[in-house]
């Protein structure tokens, strides 16, 4: 799943110019085991300058894990689900994360329909996760339950620098609120906001260290950092200086057998969809042929 340190990618072209070799080198130097790369926005592919699958394959060639993620709105959940399935199957993602926020408040039915569709398509064992508000007490209308029911884990956005809180308060309240929702701590992979924007300052090097240490001590198996293109050299150095795991071993990824099985399943699914389209075409032709035969018979019998 998301054991270890992961870095989010929003705009690939802003990550060392989209050079996969440089990106992989930076991630591995920082001790990261993978990247979460944006694949689509709502039901539309996100322009990364090249097909998402090419980015995924390039990073995997360096031994990194690659998850796809997308910001979802729920207005066209069927279209969003289709893009997600394509990211998993055609894109060969190791995992998929739904970034779901205010648009889903008060809409548990949409959340349930979306999650059911994705879980059915991805299979019961595929790492399907969601990322949303860290402090649940302030977002009581958000439907945590359906996402939790269908997902293998959650990546709460603990942006304490944006909250203007101490890192201990941000993480502490998140774990407290998620525990009240019945979310197991070993399925929680907190995300730090490693960016500076407007009045939001960069988290300090010391805060990043406490974030990693506290997450490990509380029982999380991995942590994430938003985002690659926003991090300066000092933040990269801080990331490298704080190894993971705090305790235990990081996830080493899919076994070769499991990866091959997933590829075979994806191929069979595409072949089945193609056969269904062909059968529908044949059925249409047969129907038109029968209609023409009935019309010819009427003419021969002299009927109007």
| Token pair listed for 115 | 């999650």
| Token pair listed for 16 | 């060392």
Phi-psi region of 106 (alpha: psi -120 to 50; beta: other; left: phi over 0): left
What are the angstrom distances between the C-alpha of 98 and each of 85, 179, 297?
12, 21, 57
d(CA 109, CA 106): 9
Instruction: Say if CB 43 and CB 73 are below 8 A apart.
Output: no
What are the residues whose beta carbons fall under 8 Å from the beta carbon of 266, sequence distance 6 or more? 88, 89, 90, 92
Q: Which residues of the chain have pLDDT under 70?
A: 1, 246-290, 293-304
Length of the chain: 304
d(CA 97, CA 131): 7
DSSP 8-state secondary structure symbol assigned to residue 172:
H
What are the angstrom distances between the C-alpha of 304 and each of 29, 271, 284, 290, 301?
82, 45, 25, 18, 9
User: Which pLDDT score is estimated for 250?
Assistant: 40
Q: What is the pLDDT of residues 117-138, one digit of tens each?
A: 999 999 999 999 999 999 999 9
Under DSSP, is residue 116 helix (H, G, I), strand (E, B) or coil? helix
- Burial degree of 249 (CB within 10 A; 0-12, 13-18, 19+): exposed
User: Which pLDDT score is estimated for 298?
Assistant: 66
Task: Say what the pTM is.
Answer: 0.83
Instruction: Say if CB 77 and CB 113 are below 8 A apart.
Output: yes
* Pair type for strands 34-41 and 44-45: antiparallel
Under DSSP, is residue 91 helix (H, G, I), strand (E, B) or coil? coil
| Token pair listed for 198 | 């407007």
d(CA 183, CA 179): 5
- Phi, psi angle pair for 38, to nearest 5°: -65, 130
Q: What is the pLDDT of residues 211-263, one digit of tens each?
A: 999 999 999 999 999 999 999 999 999 999 999 976 443 433 444 455 456 55
Crossing angle between the packed helical segments 256-301 and 77-89, to the nearest 10 degrees: 130
- CA angle at residue 73 from 222 to 215, to 5 degrees? 15
What are the residues whose beta carbons fall under 8 Å from the beta carbon of 29, sequence distance 6 or more? 236, 240
User: Which pLDDT score is estimated for 245?
Assistant: 77
User: Which pLDDT score is estimated for 253?
Assistant: 42
């Amino acid at each position: 799943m998301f054991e270890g340190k992961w870095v989010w990618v929003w705009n690939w072209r802003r990550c060392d110019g989209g050079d996969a070799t440089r990106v992989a080198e930076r991630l591995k130097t920082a001790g990261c085991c993978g990247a979460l790369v944006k694949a689509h926005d709502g039901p539309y592919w996100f322009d990364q300058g090249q097909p998402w699958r090419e980015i995924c394959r390039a990073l995997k060639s360096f031994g990194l894990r690659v998850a796809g993620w997308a910001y979802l709105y729920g207005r066209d959940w069927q279209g969003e689900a289709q893009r997600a399935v394509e990211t998993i199957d055609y894109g060969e993602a190791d995992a998929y994360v739904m970034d779901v926020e205010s648009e889903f408040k008060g809409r548990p039915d949409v959340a349930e329909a979306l999650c059911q569709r994705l879980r059915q398509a991805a299979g019961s064992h595929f790492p399907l996760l969601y990322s949303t508000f860290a402090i649940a007490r302030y977002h009581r209308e958000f439907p945590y339950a359906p996402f939790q029911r269908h997902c293998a884990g959650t990546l709460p956005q603990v942006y304490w620098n944006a909250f203007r809180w101490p890192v201990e308060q941000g993480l502490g309240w998140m774990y407290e609120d998620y525990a009240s929702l019945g979310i197991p701590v070993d399925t929680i992979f907190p995300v730090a906001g490693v960016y500076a924007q407007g009045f939001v300052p960069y988290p300090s090097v010391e805060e990043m260290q406490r974030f990693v240490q506290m997450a490990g001590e509380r029982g999380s198996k991995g942590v994430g950092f938003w985002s690659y293109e926003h991090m300066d050299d000092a933040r990269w150095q801080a990331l490298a200086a704080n190894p993971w795991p705090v305790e235990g071993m990081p996830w080493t990824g899919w076994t070769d057998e499991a990866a091959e099985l997933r590829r075979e399943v994806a191929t069979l699914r595409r072949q089945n969809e193609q056969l269904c389209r062909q059968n529908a075409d044949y059925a249409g032709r047969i129907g038109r042929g029968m209609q023409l035969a009935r019309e010819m018979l009427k003419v021969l019998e002299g009927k109007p």
